[in-house]
Amino acid sequence: MTTLAVAVFLLVYLGMIFGGLPFLQLDRTGIALLGAIVLVASQVISVEDAYRSLHSPTLILLFSFMVISAQLRLGGFYPWVARWIASSNGSPPALLGAVVLAAAYLSAVFSNDVVCLAMAPVIIEICRARNLNPVPFLVGLACAANIGSAATLIGNPQNMLIGQTLNLSFGRYLLLTFIPIALSLIVTWCIIIVLKRRQGWVSGESAMTIPDDKRSEGPAPLDLWQTTKGLAVAIVLFIAFLYAPWPRELMALAGAGLLLCSRRLHSRHMLGLVDWQLLILFMGLFVVNHALQQTGLPTQVVEALASAGFNMRDPGPLFVTSFALSNIVSNVPAVMLLLPTTVGEHAGTLLALSSTLAGNLLIVGSIANIIVVNESAQKGITVGWRDHAALGVPVTFATLAINGAYLSLFA
């Protein structure tokens, strides 16, 4: 049974690295689900244990904020924010600064993936209208969304998992991360401006090709009432997370249920925008990781590394390992692997920041990056790995240095 549990674990995480398995039409979600099915069907883990391995508070919180984000997407809120930014008619650096601030602020409250999905097409249209090269703005959008999402325990899936599993204080986490995240956004804006100033901001023909079938597409119009409902629920929840003693996942679920009670937006449309793939990925990885934990091998590995002088429970090794794993298997699987060795509020904060900020290094490090690249390709914009790495690598190391130094001094 131990051999099968280890074999399934290795195959699943190889799939996380490469995004699939040879000869099979499986993405990361399909691989995680298949791994869980194999473990349950072979009775390596019982159905009851598989069910208990699912961390329901995290899944409930994640689902609830997907519903809230769906409300705002159907209300046309995110494209309206991008159009409002464009209406300022400022210089390219000013426009970039507005994109960075808006993406970071929205991602701190809502999912960074949803923010990138909704804003990327509108930013492309803004750049085309001004004859600007969209690549630095798109990379800036992805980087800022990742950085901003690290500021709260609801900004991205891995932070939700860390916050719920370790029972971190929402207010204390926000108080600790606000300053380094704000500094990181300023540094990100400066890095992009300095590196892109050499090439200029004007677009080139090689950077963008407008497909005929995409020219007529436009962003959804703003529905003021639906947007107001979604924002009101989000604001109330944010305040409640700071001061109310009730479980965060239950308050969020109540807010999602309230939004589903609509006379105009059909629940089919709301639930159709829920990222069920991500929820299933979480479930599959919970089962696979739990089966490996039952073998006792992870504990033995951690103890062996500690005896060799690399203690995963110390801040330095945890920070380095989180950065490395997040760029090998992506940040959500990396956090699931490291959480059993993470003890205490300080370690949880460090894991949340390092795993999220590491996602800016390469395109594959974050789902937000992949979304921006895919949305750009559909609009005829090529954002290659070199384009992203040229900005993402310095942004990643600079922001990790800022946050690591700040935590070592003040945490």
Rg over alpha carbons for the chain, rounded to the nearest Å, is 21
Q: Residue 324 CA to chain centroid, in angstroms?
A: 17
Tokens in use for 92? Answer: 């390219």
List, in sequence order, the alpha helices (H) in 198-275.
Answer: 224-243, 248-260, 267-272
Residue 230 has a pLDDT of 95
Measured between alpha carbons, how far is 20 from 60 in angstroms, rounded to an integer? Answer: 27
Range of the domain at 395: 2-410
pTM of the model: 0.88
Residue 78 has a pLDDT of 86
Instruction: Supply the DSSP symbol for 24.
Output: S
Evaluate whether 154 touches 109 at the Cβ level (below 8 Å).
yes
pLDDT in tens, the chain (411 residues): 789 999 999 999 998 888 888 888 998 899 999 999 999 999 999 999 999 999 999 999 999 999 999 999 999 998 898 888 877 777 899 999 999 999 999 999 988 888 898 889 889 988 988 889 999 999 999 999 999 999 999 999 999 999 999 999 999 999 999 999 999 999 999 999 998 876 667 765 444 444 444 444 555 688 999 999 999 999 999 999 999 999 999 999 999 999 999 988 899 999 999 989 889 999 999 999 999 999 998 889 888 988 998 998 898 999 999 999 988 888 888 999 999 888 888 999 999 999 999 999 988 788 888 889 988 988 889 888 888 999 999 999 999 999 999 998 886
Residue 207 has a pLDDT of 44
Residue 247 has a pLDDT of 94
Measured between alpha carbons, how far is 408 from 391 in angstroms, rounded to an integer? Answer: 26
Evaluate whether 396 touches 361 at the Cβ level (below 8 Å).
yes
- Identity at 18, one-letter amino acid code: F
Evaluate whether 31 touches 251 at the Cβ level (below 8 Å).
no
- How many domains in the chain? 1
Neighbouring residues of 125: CB distance < 8 A, sequence distance ≥ 6:
218, 219
SS3 content of the chain, % helix, strand, coil (to 5): 75, 0, 20
- Which residue(s) pair with 381 in the sheet? 208
Instruction: Supply the DSSP symbol for 221.
Output: P
Residue 374 has a pLDDT of 86
Backbone angles phi, psi at 20, to 5 degrees: 175, 180
End-to-end CA, the chain: 42
